[in-house]
Homo-oligomer: A and B are copies of this chain.
Amino acid sequence: MSIIVQKYGGTSVGSVERIQAVAERVSGYLDTGHQVVVVVSAMSGETNRLDTLGRSVSGRPPAREMDVLLSSGEQVTIALVAMALQERGYPAKSYLGTQVCIRTDGNFGRARIEDIDTEALRTDLAAGVTPVVAGFQGVDAVGNVTTLGRGGSDTTAVAIAAALGVYECQICTDVDGVYTADPRIVDDARRLDRITFEEMLELASLGSKVLHPRSVEFAGKYKVPLRVLSSFEEGPGTLITIEKDDMEQPIVSGIAYARDEAKITMSGVPDVPGIASKILGPVGRAPIEVDMIVQNTGADGLTDFTFTVKRSDYDRTLELLAPVRDAIGARSLSGDNRIAKVSVVGVGMRSHAGVATRMFDALAAENINILMISTSEIKISVVVAERYLELAVRCIHSEFDLGKEPLREVETA
């Protein structure tokens, strides 16, 4: 008999009907002899409702109180899911973050899990009771309620899975797995049977919304087998695993994109040491998150310095840099807030040269101009004009034959 941790997100528990469906699904796993720990988010829309309520009371709501407020959302869901299981005759028991206990540091709103006490969970499982644990929330060393921030419930599930040493941690969501590209853009996008943690981490960081990068990182660190699958339909989903040496990897696993990007260019900057920090210093302190950074130096000793930020930070970044331009004697400050980032990810790139070339050629064949390039060991990202986004994703998907099942994928679900 093996333990599975199953996490259900806000959409999956968004109504009484869906909560009943989740209970039905969990009971199916229990019937086949599994032990299940259920982790749930707040009902969809609830966290936003509470957040708005808090912000309507206070312009700068204190972080400690926001966490008390927001964590009430999961409290409702754990009770309802535990009820729905008991209604079906399956013993179940809800657990708040404070009750498990999920010990975190004291950083309200973005707390990190430090420790999980699994005793109560193990006792329940041994007694045939299904624990239903509140995701997203924890408790600090002095008893304050904390929340984990974006993607928090996924992280809770992975952390519990790691602490219990489970067979599998399942992230049940509204899509049936991880795809080679967004199926809304690419018709022949294909669900991946498996993908490595590294690839998933890149895809998640690069804009794929299926999993939060933090939970993937956590799962990779503790080697917790992670499976993304649909809450509503049967299917094997996508297994995220550690890379096996004997496994031949496809060159490219998937394509991610991020809309709502903007780029800022400081041109004609004297190329002297410390210029990068003079430009990025005020931006980072704002704090505005900077993504890609590119610097080219011309023959004239002047350099062009370009970086990307979220589109919502575009105007503010330009304002911040106007005085910097004057101070460092740059020729011009310009920008473009209609750009998008398209990335290809694959551990196979490590051993296959020419992936970048194939990608650039495919884009050139469609007359798509590349504005910026950034690479890492297993990914290549390009910035293009936003209007070319869908076309770019499609032509790269086609170039690498991602719609076709690779030969090595012989496992059946």
Binding site for B on A (CB under 8 A): 16, 19-20, 50, 53-54, 56-62, 64-66, 68-69, 71-73, 75-76, 78-80, 82-84, 86-87, 93-94, 96, 98-99, 143, 145
Rounded to whole Å, the gap between the CB of A160 and the closest CB of chain B is 18
Rounded to whole Å, the gap between the CB of A41 and the closest CB of chain B is 14
**A98 proximity list for chain B (CB < 8 A):** 98
**A53 proximity list for chain B (CB < 8 A):** 16, 76, 80
**A72 proximity list for chain B (CB < 8 A):** 72-73, 75-76, 79
B65 contacts A83, C-beta separation under 8 Å: yes
On whether A96 and B50 interact (CB within 8 A), knowing A58-B83, A65-B82, A80-B57, the answer reads no
**A57 proximity list for chain B (CB < 8 A):** 16, 19-20, 80, 83-84, 87
**A50 proximity list for chain B (CB < 8 A):** 76
Rounded to whole Å, the gap between the CB of A40 and the closest CB of chain B is 12
Rounded to whole Å, the gap between the CB of A49 and the closest CB of chain B is 10
* Cβ contacts A to B, 8 pairs, < 8 Å: A20-B57, A54-B83, A57-B84, A57-B87, A58-B86, A68-B75, A68-B79, A69-B79
Closest residue on chain B to residue A145 by CB atoms: B96
- A68 CA to B68 CA in the complex, in Å? 15
Q: Taking each of A69, A71, A76, A79, which has the highest tally of chain B beta carbons within 10 Å of its own beta carbon?
A: A79
**A84 proximity list for chain B (CB < 8 A):** 57-58
Closest residue on chain B to residue A132 by CB atoms: B65
Interface SS majority for chain A? helix
- A65 CA to B82 CA in the complex, in Å? 7
Rounded to whole Å, the gap between the CB of A144 and the closest CB of chain B is 8
Q: Kindly identify which residue among B56, B59, B65, B79 contacts A16, using a CB–CB cutoff of 8 Å.
A: B56
- A65 CA to B19 CA in the complex, in Å? 14
A79 contacts B65, C-beta separation under 8 Å: yes
A65 contacts B87, C-beta separation under 8 Å: no
- A169 CA to B269 CA in the complex, in Å? 68
- A61 CA to B356 CA in the complex, in Å? 59
- A34 CA to B263 CA in the complex, in Å? 55
- A247 CA to B379 CA in the complex, in Å? 87
B79 contacts A75, C-beta separation under 8 Å: no
Known: A68-B78, A68-B94, A72-B73. 4 other contacts (CB 8 A): A20-B57, A50-B76, A58-B86, A64-B94
